[in-house]
Chain A
Amino acid sequence: MATYVQIDPTQKLDPFKAVKKIPLEEYFTSGHRTCQGCESALVMKMMAKAAGPRTIVLGSTGCMYVANTTYYSTSWVLPWMHTQLGSSGSAALGASAALKVLMRKGKMKQEPINVIAFCGDGGGADMGVGAISATLTHPDYNCLILMYDNESYANTDIQLSGSTPWGANTTFSTPGKVKRIMHRRWKKNMAGMMAAGHPTCRYVATVCMSYGLAAMNSMRKALAIGGPTFIHSLDPCPKGWDYDPYISHELGELAVNTGIWPLYEVEDGVLKLTGRTQQIAAKKIQRQPVRDYLLRQGRFAHFTNDDIDYFQSKIDEMWEKWLVPGVIPFRTDVEADAPPSS
């Protein structure tokens, strides 16, 4: 088996032991025009720092393209290239394949170079899911696909995506006089799907920038382990979620503490819940009610108590009924689903 898969050496990227050990050098710097309180911009900054200077970044269309790269004022210190909305998987594969073959043939200096392709939830969970899935099946190309999930097409005007939570008010699911809940689909379980569906993919993780050090160490592990890897980051978005920018970090913490956003990593098929999620699962801390999270955001302002109860019941189910709690929604028995009338 090993002879068929030829993984090139990767960079040695040990975890940062503490915040103070993180280097000061910035590889994603001024020149961008993201919103105040934008957590996705923080993902970019920390991702670039975690990866270091010998890295190629491919960015699919979305906020982190449109707001980050204006001609003549790029914020990227790393080599960066735009890729099409649904092409983060293909971009990662193409760049990685080129480096591999050019080094093998002696057309390029031998050196481990990180390849990262990022996408938003629209580009990843919707349009690009096929290409990401395909790339995760190619064991011999070193690359990381990072999905920054602000739960809507936030750059184009806040339209719902396959990653938007149930019931949220977006410009494509605006509550009206007759219908209160226009978005009646449950959020895609992207990281779980990628981990469960791609048995040779060596690393899949969820992160949140409210826990920045852990997120950066996740990225470093994803880049160093070899082969294609996937990270899903939940990014509170002041514009799309409708809240005051200063509570971005707090909302990220609430997403984790309510159990809505489980933090975990799947390394060589071994699942490990991480951070606060691990403590929730071990019953060392209690999940906070989802109400605390939902009511801080304007996108849920139209929710009735029934809606909040329904949301809570789905999160309870995730922790109490799923065979792999918080990760894989298989159950032993059929559960009735009774959403409130819209």
Chain B
Amino acid sequence: MAVATVIEEQKDKLDKTALITGSEAIAVACQLADVDVITAYPIRPYDTVMQYVCKLVANGEMDCEYIVAEGEHSQFEIVKHASACGARVFCGSSGVGWMYAMEALTVTPALRIPMIAMVGNRALDDPGAFGVEHNDALAVRDLGWQLVWVDNAQEALDTALIAYRVAEDRRIFLPLAISCDGAFLTHSQALVKIPSQEKVNEFLPQYNRGDLLLHPDNPITVAPQGNEDWVMEIRRQNYAAMERSPGVIREAYADFERIFGRSYGNPFFEEYMTDDADIVLMGMGTLSISVKVAIREMRKQGKRVGFVRMRWFRPFAAEELSKSLQRFAAVGVIDRDYSFGSPYAGGVLAGEVRHALYPGPGKKPPVVGFICGLGGREVTVPDVQKMAEAVYNAADGKKQPLTQWIGLRE
């Protein structure tokens, strides 16, 4: 009895470890962040997060308005307005569901709404596919959304806490989407360290809407007609907020390390075995797992291959990445997405990497693009080895297509 009382009293101070999925990790982050309004609508695979939220609410472990909407458009519109009225909000979707909400997604950044959304990345139907592709989240890349990709459940939980800290910073006030690969992360369990409420409270201040609060005490008019008179200046303010984002992200990761004792190194991209690498592969999300396994195999054969996993796609750490990539003889970019008709018919990330390299001083390594793992198809170790071969060929100056589809049934 006495012991139980002590545990109860210490509850907020204790860290825990639990075997949970990526989706559940984000639900736990919402609980720790004391989110006020959450809206759900079913679509696989992101919806698992809302199933966990539902249980937390039903069990009295979380106090929030948990609203099941009648479509994704409403789902995002409801939390948009709740956030304008001062509530911390959470939302999410997948694939075509995310696209159904597109109108709401487009207006949210300009309204300076720090909405946090989880995208359980999923291929855009048709044809029907539940598996991962990144085109859903990438569809908002130009609009003022901050976009981050994670590759494990621990990182999902940690990044969700960081997301609230960054998005709700008054210097930013921009929405943020956390991308979790469908099935590979949303439905895969791992041991996750759940931080104490006390630490989370130290890390994450309350959401303060300040002078933008929609309330009778602050009777402002939000989003009137701007037209050619003012829209350009307002866009410029969005631009400035996004330009401030990298600094705020760095601060948040530094504080995260100080308070939680876990470090992510460079927040923007993770480098794996790059110190002595001849060539590197790049990619986002859970394909990192098979890439890392393949790299360890290839290194046994003396091939010095490294890997760069992009976490933050918006803001995009172009200068830093460009500086890092100049160390290598060639770069291979694995896209789990497509951009038909784009320069060199490449994927979205490949285009961004070439773009990042172009203005930089110093040498520009050749960049080969790969389209791989579409529709949830696995990116296998032999696929990765094949891609590394092509990158070596590029380093040797051999002629080959700038974009190659890997793992395709011929």
Contacts and interface: CB of A to CB of B under 8 A. Distances in A.
A256 interface: no
| Nearest 5 interchain pairs by C-beta | A94-B81, A69-B224, A90-B77, A98-B85, A74-B221
A324 interface: no
28 contacts: A69-B223, A69-B224, A70-B225, A71-B225, A71-B227, A72-B230, A77-B219, A78-B219, A79-B214, A79-B216, A81-B81, A82-B222, A82-B223, A86-B73, A90-B69, A93-B81, A94-B79, A94-B83, A95-B81, A97-B67, A98-B65, A98-B83, A100-B65, A101-B37, A101-B64, A105-B34, A113-B215, A138-B67
B36 interface: yes
B81 A134 contact: no
Contacts of B174: none
Given A79-B218, A98-B84, A107-B206, 20 more contacts: A56-B85, A76-B221, A78-B219, A79-B222, A81-B81, A81-B84, A81-B222, A82-B223, A84-B103, A87-B77, A87-B104, A94-B80, A95-B84, A100-B65, A102-B86, A107-B36, A107-B86, A130-B70, A130-B74, A131-B70
B216 A93 contact: no
Nearest to A82: B223
Given A71-B225, A98-B37, A93 B78 contact: yes
A187 interface: no
B229 A95 contact: no
Contacts of A70: 224-225
Interface in B214-242: 214-216, 218-227, 229-230
Interface of B is mostly: mixed
B144 to A, nearest CB: 16
A101 B227 CA distance: 35
B63 A105 contact: yes
A174 interface: no
Contacts of B71: 130-131
Interface string B25-69: 000000000101100000000000000000000000001110101
B224 A74 contact: yes
Nearest to A91: B81
Interface residues of B, number: 42
Interface residues of A, number: 45
Interface in B83-101: 83-87
A33 B85 CA distance: 27
Contacts of B229: 71
A53 B83 CA distance: 21
A99 B107 contact: no
A56 B216 contact: yes
B77 A99 contact: no
A54 B216 contact: yes
B67 A69 contact: no
Contacts of A98: 36-37, 65, 81-87
